[in-house]
Amino acid sequence: MKPLSNLTLLFYALPALPLAAIALPLYIIVPSVYAGRFGIALSAIGAALLAIRCLDAITDPLMGWLADRIPGRYGRRRLFFLLSLPLTALSAYMLFSPPEGAGLAHLVVWGCLLSIGSTWTSLPYTAWGAELETSYDGRVRLSAWREGTTLLGTLLAISLPFLGQASTAGAQPDLNAIAVMVAVLLPIFGAIAVWRVAEPVDFSKTRLSLQKGLGFLLANSAFLRLAMAFLMNSLANAIPASLFLYFVAARLEAPELQGPLLFAYFLSAVAGVPLAVFVARRLGKHRAWCWAMLLSCAIFALGGLLGPGDAWLFLGICVVTGVLLGFDLALPPAIQADVIDQDTLASGEQRSGLYFAAWSFVTKLALALSSGIVFPLLALAGFQPEGGAQSGQALYALSALYAFLPILFKLLAIALMWRFSIDSTHQQATRQKIEQRQRDIANP
**Can you give the pLDDT at residue 224?**
94
Q: Is the pLDDT of residue 52 over 70?
A: yes
Q: What is the pLDDT of residues 232-289, one digit of tens each?
A: 999 999 999 888 988 998 899 898 888 789 889 989 999 999 999 999 999 999 999 9
Separation CA 226–CA 86 (nearest Å): 33
**Can you give the pLDDT at residue 60?**
80
Q: What is the pLDDT of residues 321-342, one digit of tens each?
A: 999 999 999 999 999 989 988 8
Q: Is the pLDDT of residue 444 over 80?
A: no
Q: Is the pLDDT of residue 171 over 50?
A: no
**Can you give the pLDDT at residue 25?**
72
**Can you give the pLDDT at residue 227?**
94
Q: What is the pLDDT of residues 103-122, one digit of tens each?
A: 888 998 998 999 899 888 98
**Can you give the pLDDT at residue 386?**
66
Q: What is the DSSP string of 284-353?
A: -HHHHHHHHHHHHHHHHHHHTT--TT-HHHHHHHHHHHHHHHHHHHHHHHHHHHHHHHHHHHHHSS--HH
pLDDT band with cut points at 50, 70 and 90 for residue 210: low
**Can you give the pLDDT at residue 102?**
83
Q: Where are the alpha helices (DSSP H) in 97-220?
A: 104-132, 136-164, 172-196, 210-218
Average pLDDT, the chain: 85
Give the phi and the psi of residue 443 in degrees, each rounded to 5: -130, 75
**Can you give the pLDDT at residue 47?**
84
Average pLDDT value for residue range 411-432: 92
Separation CA 372–CA 366 (nearest Å): 10
Q: Which residues lie closer than 8 Å to 440 by C-beta, 6 or more apart? A: none
225-234, 367-376, 413-422: segment of lowest average pLDDT? 367-376
Q: Which residues lie closer than 8 Å to 311 by C-beta, 6 or more apart? A: 248, 252, 254, 257, 261
**Where exactly are the structural domains of the chain?**
11-437
**Can you give the pLDDT at residue 172?**
43
Q: Could you give the 3-state DSSP secondary structure of residue 17?
A: helix
**Can you give the pLDDT at residue 42?**
77
Residue among 182, 166, 349 nearest 259 (CA): 166
Average pLDDT value for residue range 384-394: 77
Q: Which residues lie closer than 8 Å to 158 by C-beta, 6 or more apart? A: 24, 28, 259, 262, 263, 266
11-437: CATH topology: Growth Hormone; Chain: A; (1.20.1250)
pLDDT band with cut points at 50, 70 and 90 for residue 162: low
**Highest mean pLDDT range out of 65-69, 190-194, 195-199, 300-304?**
190-194
Query: Cβ of 383: how many Cβ atoms within 10 Å?
Result: 22
**Can you give the pLDDT at residue 442?**
64
Q: Could you give the 3-state DSSP secondary structure of residue 74?
A: coil
**Can you give the pLDDT at residue 196?**
92
Q: Is the pLDDT of residue 211 over 80?
A: no
18-32, 132-146, 247-261, 389-403: segment of lowest average pLDDT? 18-32
17-31, 201-215, 379-393: segment of lowest average pLDDT? 201-215
